[in-house]
């Protein structure tokens, strides 16, 4: 069953007086449990696509169904709930809150899920990414790789079916990047649908399927051999 | 996001910028402290005044002698040469038959000395009812009685300070005090009366420093205590001399004060008008007396209090407004500084409402904490004022609750705009930044 289904998706941006098309009609779907990478040069529209499938932005036309729900028709609040419960975000620049400890950063999405903070579950998540010993440290006291692990733990706390990685290894050295990709691979094996945006072929090689974009159109869609 | 979480976040944010938070709170702190301190002073003054008026009795009407000076003096000398006099008291008692007590008072001129040292005491001639009107308590002996008055007994009753001045700690009963040409036998001593109570409203006499003697002797054998200047004209001097050597009949004898106590306190103002018309006729419209109605003063003071309260509220409003604007300014700066944080929070599932609530609560944490510190500062300030200035201050719980509530409200009002600005932050732009 397709957990993500994109049908003739278009997105225009208003630049000055004219409309600039960024996404020019995309159609593809991602099944539950897939491990997909999205590639393309800058300006190909992959960030825009990422924002739309991450429910941060709306398409200008076309449809995007997430778990069978048409996100284009959702209210701002409903989309916030989707981001909170269905999607785990991992960013290139980690995006942890600098004043909070690793553990507090991890349990933050729980506060917006409407239930009490569960620190034990937060510790479990940190343990699963190999950071059980640094729960009290603030992001400033952690290395890049460790920060990204905290970010992954945070994305897991509400147990969403989908994990988005937006250039998750972009700020890391090769070996640390490899470690992070190992974690994503494991998560995929445990049943999560994982989508990674990247422009590095070595990173894309960890995944099972590569979607290439160019000039707002899907250029190729092929499995990794 | 639970409210407790949001408050916790707000507090953490506050403590991570201690100096900035402190400066932000300053407006609210001073506003609230000023309100608390001023309300305490106002409340203290009000209660003191109420107590004075009430101790004077709201069921009385007081008629006092007024010295005529300047241009009016000539006509006054002709039309009403004696000013307030004993016959006025009789005139009042013949018309105001419903009055409970009518007490004439004559403050007399007499130097009281202990050895060679003149003492700051006041000799007062009056009738036995005086003690019941002023609710004087006896420490020992008795007050003046009707017999003293009729028989012109040479007796006196001492206020507690007067006793201390004259006899130190010795027992004065049965001993004598030299007042002018006469020796008066002490028959009683009064209990000490608290200053604020003893001082009749707006008249500065202190009951504790008084020596009381029968009015009958005071009127015949002593001069009235008078602040009147020596008349500078030939006729003035002649009249004064004539007055001194001719023994005026008793009812023309000048007195200082007439106190009329009524059975019904609601009749005081009407009675005051009756007395005014009686005296105006008797004095041929010379304004050489004044009428004081404590119940009227009470009402006027309540009116004044209302005005004071309005002014206070305006001052408080302005200072809290200024404080609130300062808070809004800082909150707006905070929002733009924390755009990225807002973006992250929105991205991981915070709704706009979550963001609004967080920033509103942060603003409220600032103002409530500021309000709390302000309340403490105000209470301490009121204490300090009452210790150093000697004023009575009363910290009212109502003022504390009100100003605390208002500071919370300031947080809501001035936090609302920055919070909505925060909620309008686009998470995509916010994350792209920095």
Residue B59: how many other CB atoms lie within 10 Å? 20
Question: Mean per-residue pLDDT for A213-224?
Answer: 90
Nearest to A51 among B352, B353, B428 (CB): B428
Nearest to A113 among B13, B16, B349 (CB): B349
Which range among A154-168, B286-300, B416-430 shows the weakest confidence by mean pLDDT?
A: B286-300
Of A51, A82, A95, which to mutate for an interface test with B (greatest number of B Cβ within 10 Å)?
Answer: A95
Query: Averaging pLDDT over each range in A123-132, B229-238, B308-317, B384-393, which range is the top one?
Result: A123-132
**Token reading at B388:** 């150093």
Distance from CA of B332 to the nearest CA of A (A): 19
**Is B81 a residue whose pLDDT tops 80?**
no
DSSP state of B256: S
Rounded Cα distance, A182 and A178, in Å: 6
Hey, what CATH topology would domain A33-55+76-223 get? Rossmann fold (3.40.50)
pLDDT, chain B, mean: 84
Answer yes or no: are the C-beta atoms of B291 and B165 closer than 8 Å: no
Which range among B3-12, B40-49, B191-200, B221-230 shows the weakest confidence by mean pLDDT?
A: B191-200
Which chain B residue's Cα is nearest to A47?
Answer: B428
Rounded Cα distance, B84 and A187, in Å: 106
pLDDT in tens, B126-175: 999 988 888 888 888 899 999 998 988 899 999 988 888 888 888 888 88
Which chain A residue's Cα is nearest to B426?
Answer: A56
**Is B196 a residue whose pLDDT tops 60?**
no
Contact call for A97 and B344, based on CB within 8 A: yes
Which chain A residue's Cα is nearest to B427?
Answer: A56
**Is B231 a residue whose pLDDT tops 60?**
no
Q: What is the largest CA-CA distance in chain A?
A: 54
- Give, in order, the Cα–Cα distances in Å from B68 to each of B82, B83, B251, B259: 11, 9, 21, 21
User: Which residues in chain B are closer than 8 Å to A49, comparing Cβ atoms?
Assistant: none
Question: Which residues of chain B approach chain A closer than 8 Å at the C-beta?
Answer: 1-2, 5, 12-13, 16, 340-341, 343-354, 427-428, 431
Strand partners, A214: A217
Rounded Cα distance, A210 and B183, in Å: 124
Q: Where are the domains of chain A?
A: 33-55+76-223
Q: Looking at the complex, does the CB of residue A84 fall below 8 Å from at least one CB of chain B? A: yes
């Amino acid at each position: 069953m397709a957990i993500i289904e994109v049908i003739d998706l278009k997105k225009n941006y208003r630049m000055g007086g004219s409309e600039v098309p960024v996404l020019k009609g995309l159609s593809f779907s991602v099944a539950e449990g897939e491990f997909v990478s999205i590639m393309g040069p800058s300006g190909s529209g992959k960030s825009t696509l990422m924002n739309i499938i991450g429910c941060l932005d709306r398409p200008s036309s076309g449809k995007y169904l997430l778990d069978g729900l048409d996100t284009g028709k959702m209210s701002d609040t409903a989309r916030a709930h989707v981001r909170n419960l269905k999607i785990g975000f991992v960013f290139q620049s980690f995006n942890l809150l600098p004043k909070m400890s690793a553990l507090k950063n991890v349990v933050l999405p729980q506060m917006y899920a409407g239930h009490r903070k569960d620190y034990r579950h937060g510790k479990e998540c940190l343990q699963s990414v190999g950071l059980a010993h640094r729960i009290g440290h603030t992001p400033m006291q952690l290395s890049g790789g460790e920060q990204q692990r905290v970010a992954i733990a945070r994305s897991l706390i509400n147990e969403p079916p989908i994990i988005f990685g937006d250039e998750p290894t972009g700020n890391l050295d090769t070996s640390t990047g490899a470690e992070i990709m190992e974690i994503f691979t494991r998560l995929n094996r445990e049943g999560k649908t994982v989508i990674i945006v990247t422009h590095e072929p070595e990173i894309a090689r960890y995944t099972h399927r590569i979607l290439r974009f160019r000039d707002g159109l899907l250029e190729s869609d092929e499995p990794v051999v | 996001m639970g409210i407790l979480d949001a408050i916790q976040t707000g507090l953490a944010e506050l403590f991570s910028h201690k100096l900035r938070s402190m400066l932000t709170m300053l407006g609210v702190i001073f506003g609230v402290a000023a309100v608390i301190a001023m309300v305490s002073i106002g409340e203290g003054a009000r209660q003191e005044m109420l107590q004075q008026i009430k101790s004077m009795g709201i069921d009385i009407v007081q008629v006092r002698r007024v010295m005529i000076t300047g241009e009016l003096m000539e006509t006054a000398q002709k039309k009403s040469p004696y000013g307030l006099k004993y016959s006025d008291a009789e005139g009042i008692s013949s018309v105001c038959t419903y009055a409970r007590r009518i007490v004439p008072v004559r403050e007399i001129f007499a130097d009281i000395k202990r050895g060679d040292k003149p003492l700051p005491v006041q000799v007062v001639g009056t009738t036995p009812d005086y003690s019941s009107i002023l609710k004087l308590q006896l420490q020992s002996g008795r007050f003046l009685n009707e017999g003293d008055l009729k028989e012109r007994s040479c007796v006196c009753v001492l206020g507690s300070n007067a006793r201390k001045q004259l006899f130190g700690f010795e027992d004065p009963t049965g001993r004598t005090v030299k007042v002018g040409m006469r020796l008066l036998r002490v028959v009683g001593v009064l209990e000490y009366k608290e200053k604020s109570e003893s001082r009749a409203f707006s008249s500065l006499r202190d009951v504790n420093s008084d020596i009381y003697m029968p009015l009958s002797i005071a009127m015949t054998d002593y001069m009235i205590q008078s602040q009147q200047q020596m008349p500078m004209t030939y006729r003035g001097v002649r009249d004064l001399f004539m007055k001194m050597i001719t023994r005026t009949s008793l009812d023309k004898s000048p007195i200082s004060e007439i106190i009329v106590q009524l059975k019904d306190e609601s009749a005081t103002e009407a009675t005051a008008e009756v007395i005014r018309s009686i005296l105006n006729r008797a004095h041929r419209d010379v304004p050489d007396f004044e009428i004081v109605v404590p119940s009227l003063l009470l009402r006027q003071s309540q009116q004044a209090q209302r005005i004071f309260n309005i002014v206070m509220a305006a001052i408080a409003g302005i200072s809290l407004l200024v404080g609130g604007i300062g808070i809004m300014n800082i909150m707006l700066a905070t929002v733009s500084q924390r755009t990225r944080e807002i973006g992250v929070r929105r991205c991981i599932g915070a709704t706009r409402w979550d963001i609004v609530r967080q920033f509103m609560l942060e603003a409220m944490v600032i103002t409530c904490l500021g309000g709390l510190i302000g309340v403490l500062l105000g209470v301490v300030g009121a204490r300090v004022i009452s210790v150093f200035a000697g004023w009575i201050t009363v910290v009212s719980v109502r003022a504390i609750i009100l100003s605390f509530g208002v500071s919370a409200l300031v947080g809501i009002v001035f936090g609302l705009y920055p919070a909505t600005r925060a909620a309008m932050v686009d998470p995509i732009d916010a994350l792209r930044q920095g």
